[in-house]
Each structure stands twice: as structure tokens, then as C-alpha cells.
Amino acid sequence: MNRYEEVIAKSKVTADDATVKAAVAKILDKTAENDNREVYKFLLGSIDLTTLSTEDSEKSVAAFTRRVNDFENDWPQYPHVAAICVYSNFAEVVDNNLDVEGVDVCVVAAGFPSSQTFQAVKVADVALAREAGADEIDVVMNVGMFLDGNYEDLCDELIELKHTAKDARLKVILETGCLGTAEKIRNASLLAMYSEADFIKTSTGKIYSGASLEAAYVMCQCIKEYHVATGRKVGFKAAGGVRTTAEAVAYYTIVKEVLGEGWLNADCFRLGASSLANSILSSLEEKEVKYF
């Protein structure tokens, strides 16, 4: 076995789908205790506010960014979002228009959403995004390599992308809706973390089904095991289909119960979404709000 196969073989994280489903159901019994305004505020501050549209342009992305600037003045009682997430070619647009301290510039890069292009193109894309002002870079694991068992090349590519990103956070998207099973999600999570990922992320939301609570549970168990083994904290990001406050509270509950309070901050927990911010604002205001 190579070193990556050894890591997978040693893992004690459950790979049984029925066990995972039962564990998630038990955890979700605790969501009611997290269904409150303070958690809503935390969740709002954990959002990577996202626009990934074919119609995106410099003008539209600049306006999207300025809306985040306006939010700090219009809703000073609430936290701002954690990041603005755009295609890599708009990193500079966000960076030039963003005035709010503490909001990161996040991009999707490296052949998003399929990861199907030349490795040199992926590396160049990440390098250009970093140079243009990206603080965080979300890339997709090469699922084809993973399914073929080509772990060496897969992990070498992710490591090169992290080294290219330098001090920018690298979030590795597993595309859990494609992987499907707890076993595959576990194995992909471990490979990403041992390839220097700063976050592991569920989905692109573009091709396959998005985040699921079962996938989140497995990923968080892997993060916990990895932290015990290495002392390194890796973040978790749910993305793809997280649209309502209730759904966000469920993911919060999974992270809280599996990983604990130490992961309940924007450095370790994110939600990638476009409409979720409005849902949470509506919950906070107890009326419909369409701000973003």
C-alpha cells in the first residue's frame, strides 16, 4: 500500500451508510436547542455569499460586492458575511470594490466545477486568482482520479495547488453527491486533508446533488480523527442546496455535536450559498427580507 492507502486503511470513521443515517437522525433531535437568534447571527457570519452565474460580469459582480458594503450600514446589528465567492476571473473586481473589514475574497478555480482540464491550467488559475487578491480558493477534487484509485496523482495535484495558493485558504470540494456512499466520502475527506486542504467542502452545487447531512457527518468525523492524529484543524463547508435557516441550523448542529465549540467560528465553519442570507435575515427580522 502507498501512504494514502495506509491512511484510509487505518481510519476508524464508519463507512456504513445505515449507521451514518441513524447517527444523523439522533443528532438532529438536538436541533431545537440551536434554533435561536444567536445561532442565526452566527450562521449569517459564516456564509460565503456566492454568485456563480453564466451572466456574471464585472458590472454585476461589483454591484454584488457593494451590496455587502451597504449591509454593514443598513443592518449594523448583524454580522457581515464571511466571504464573497465568485469565479476566479472576478477576484480583482471583488477586491477593488470591497470595503468591509473581515470579509474575504473567495474564488472557485482550477477547472471548477468538473476539475477536468490540464493540471498546468489549474495551477495557473490558482496563481492568477491569488495574485488578483483571492484570500480563499475553492477547488474540486479530481473525482475521476479518485474513482480510479489513482491517489498519488490526485494528492500530488492538490498539494501543488495548495503550494500555489500559498497563504490563501484552500477549500477542496469532494462533490459528495457524486461519491454517494459514506465509504467514498470518508476516503475522499482523508485524501484531501492529507493533501494539505485547509477546508473540505461538500459540493459545487452545479452538477450533482448538493450537501447532505449524512455527508456532513462523515466529513466532520474525518476532520475530528485527522485533528487527533495531526493536531491540525481543518474546516468544514457545506454548499449546494443550503437555502433555508432550518437547513443551516441542521448543519450547525452536526458540526457542534461532532466537532464541538472549537469549530463554531468562521475560520472552521462555512456555508456556501446565494439565497441563504435572505432566509436568515428573514428569520431574524420575523418577516420576509430580500436584501441580497
Single out the catalytic residue among 104, 125, 138, 198: 138
Closest by CA position to 102, among listed 123, 75, 84: 84
- Tell me phi and psi for residue 288, to 5 degrees: -70, 130
Single out the catalytic residue among 122, 162, 184, 201: 201
Asked if 104 is an active-site residue, the reply is: no
Asked if 56 is an active-site residue, the reply is: no
d(CA 101, CA 66): 13
Q: Which three cell numbers stand for residue 16?
A: 456504513
Q: Which three cell numbers stand for residue 179?
A: 461519491
Residue owning grid cell 464541538: 260
Closest by CA position to 69, among listed 56, 80, 58: 80
Helices and strands in the chain: count of H runs, count of E runs: 13, 8
Asked if 237 is an active-site residue, the reply is: yes
CA distances from 1 to 13, 146, 149, 161 (A): 19, 16, 12, 25
| Residues recognised as catalytic | 138, 201, 237
